[in-house]
Structure formats: C-alpha cells, structure tokens
C-alpha cells in the first residue's frame, strides 16, 4: 500500500489549511485594528456621555410618581403612564451605561465632570414639557454627531441611542400633542450638530445653558458636515448646520414656557 504518498498528501493539505487560517486571522486582526477607536472617537464619546448624563440627572431631580403621570395621562390610565415613565427613566440609565462601556475602549477617555443645572419648573406639567424637549434634543444630537465618527462601534451606539430617545420623545409627545406627524413636513426627524447643541438657549436643539461648559464640540475627521432635511454632506465650508427649524412643527417641541432660570443642579463624575 502507498502509505508514504498518502502521508505526504496529508501533510501538504494540513500545511495549506494552517496557512489559510493564519492568513484569515491576520486579515481579521488587520481589519479590527483599522476600525479601532481613535482620539477623535474619544471626543465624540465624551460629548455623548455629557448629554446622556444630563438627561439622566434631570429625571433623577424629580420623583416620577402618580402626580407626574396624571399630567400626561391623556386617554390612557395614569397607572400605565406611570409605568412607562418609570421605564423611560430606567432606559435612560442604561444609555449612560452603554456609553460608559464603549468608552473603556477609547484611547485616553476620561468622563467629563459636569455640574449640570436644570430649568426651574413651577409645576409638574412644565417638568413633562421639558422632558419631551430634552428627549427630542438628545435624539437629534446623537443623529447629528453620528456623522463625526469612522468607527462602526461608535456609529452603532449613536444610532441606538438616537432611536431610544426618539421613542421616548414620541411617547411623551403623543401624551401632550394631538398631532405628532404632519403630512406637509419636508424633513425627516431633526438632527443637530454638536456646536448647536452646546450653544446657550432654552429651545429645542440647544443644551449649553445646562451643561456648565463641561465638554467641547468634537471635530469632524472628514471636514464640515452640512445637515439637510433629508441627508448630510461633507462640505468645504468651515461651518456646520442642523436640520429642521426649531419649533417649526407640532412634532418638534417648541421652547417651553416654563421659567428658564436654573437653580436646581446636579453633578455627575
């Protein structure tokens, strides 16, 4: 029997398999290294962490109880609304945890130390209006900053956070407004660039008045991002833009009529 030739063939085949596995492993390693988080992603995650921490602290500043639920019950029982609001608060805690987990991979990441301030609200109704406004703002903020990363992991996180806050805003808004979606709208859901989000003001899309300057706007590694009503494009101009005029439709919350003075505060490390 020709055992020698069979053994030789098996050795050749085994060597080819080992070589193929080695090449595959090397390619995967190279691909993984090419998609690793960079210092640019670190700045995006610091910005994301500061915004998530703000909303998390805002909810913690007021007890979510049956009194709050009664203000947004609409045609739904207050007990069901209370359950949903408490669920929203819990999910906002998870968004902070999600950012924290991914940040562990970011080079040189350190959580921003933010001394948050909140608008002073005179009643529960105003608190709920602000919750709607802030949820909507964070959804647009995370859509906007998703255009500032080349990392699949960061882009995935931002897409997930934007979807989460958009769902929260839609639920709260549907309790407050009779019409959430307009047939005459010419824009998709709002998207805000970081510079606008960090600008001072008390309107949807801006949170700078509440963050205490604890974080700066990340730079875009590809250039200026112009956000339009349907898509975004990299441009040669120095400025960036955001979609959807503030307060332009019933689905975009206007700035609240509640007092804009900021006496309540919290600190997140």
Q: What are phi and psi of 185, to 5 degrees?
A: -65, 140
Inside any domain, residue 240: yes
Inside any domain, residue 24: no
Full domain range(s) for residue 249: 38-268
Residue 236: CB partners within 8 Å, gap ≥ 6? 223, 224
pLDDT of residue 269: 37
Inside any domain, residue 17: no
Judged by DSSP in three states, 115 sits in strand
Inside any domain, residue 19: no
Q: Give which of 157, 144, 57, 56 is closest to 106, Cα–Cα.
A: 157
Cβ pair 197, 144 in contact under 8 A: yes
pLDDT of residue 188: 79
Q: What is the pLDDT of residues 11-61, one digit of tens each?
A: 445 555 555 455 444 444 434 567 899 999 999 999 999 999 999 999 988
* Count of domains observed in the chain: 1
Inside any domain, residue 22: no
Cβ pair 201, 254 in contact under 8 A: no
Inside any domain, residue 217: yes
Inside any domain, residue 18: no
pLDDT of residue 75: 60
Judged by DSSP in three states, 55 sits in helix
Share of the chain above pLDDT 70, in %: 72
Pairwise CA distance, residues 222 & 195, whole Å: 16
Task: Give the CA dihedral 134, 135, 140, 143, nearest 10 degrees.
Answer: 130
> The pTM is what?
0.75
pLDDT of residue 1: 52
Structure tokens at 12: 């050749």
pLDDT of 190 over the 60 cut: yes
Inside any domain, residue 199: yes
Pairwise CA distance, residues 142 & 168, whole Å: 14
Share of the chain above pLDDT 90, in %: 43
pLDDT of residue 72: 64
């Amino acid at each position: 029997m020709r055992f020698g030739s069979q053994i030789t063939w098996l050795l050749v085949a085994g060597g080819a398999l080992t070589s193929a596995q080695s090449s595959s492993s090397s390619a995967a390693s190279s691909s993984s290294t090419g998609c690793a988080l960079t210092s640019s992603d670190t700045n995006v995650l610091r910005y994301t962490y500061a915004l998530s921490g703000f909303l998390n602290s805002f909810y913690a500043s007021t007890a979510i109880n049956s009194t709050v639920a009664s203000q947004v019950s609409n045609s739904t029982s207050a007990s069901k609304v209370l359950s949903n609001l408490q669920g929203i608060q819990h999910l906002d805690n998870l968004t902070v945890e999600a950012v924290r987990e991914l940040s562990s991979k970011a080079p040189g990441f350190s959580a921003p130390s933010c001394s948050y301030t909140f608008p002073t609200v005179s009643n529960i109704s105003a608190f709920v209006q602000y919750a709607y406004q802030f949820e909507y703002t964070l959804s647009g903020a995370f859509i906007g900053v998703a255009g500032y990363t080349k990392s699949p992991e960061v882009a995935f996180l931002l897409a997930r956070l934007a979807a989460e806050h958009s769902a929260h805003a839609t639920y709260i808004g549907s309790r407050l407004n009779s019409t959430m979606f307009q047939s005459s709208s010419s824009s998709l859901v709002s998207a805000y660039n970081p510079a606008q989000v960090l600008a001072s003001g008390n309107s949807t899309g801006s949170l700078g008045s509440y963050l205490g300057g604890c974080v700066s706007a990340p730079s875009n590694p590809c250039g200026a991002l112009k956000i339009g009503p349907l898509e975004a494009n990299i441009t040669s101009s120095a400025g960036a833009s955001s979609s959807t005029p503030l307060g332009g439709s019933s689905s975009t919350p206007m700035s609240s009529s509640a007092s804009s003075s900021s006496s309540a505060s919290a600190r997140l490390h």
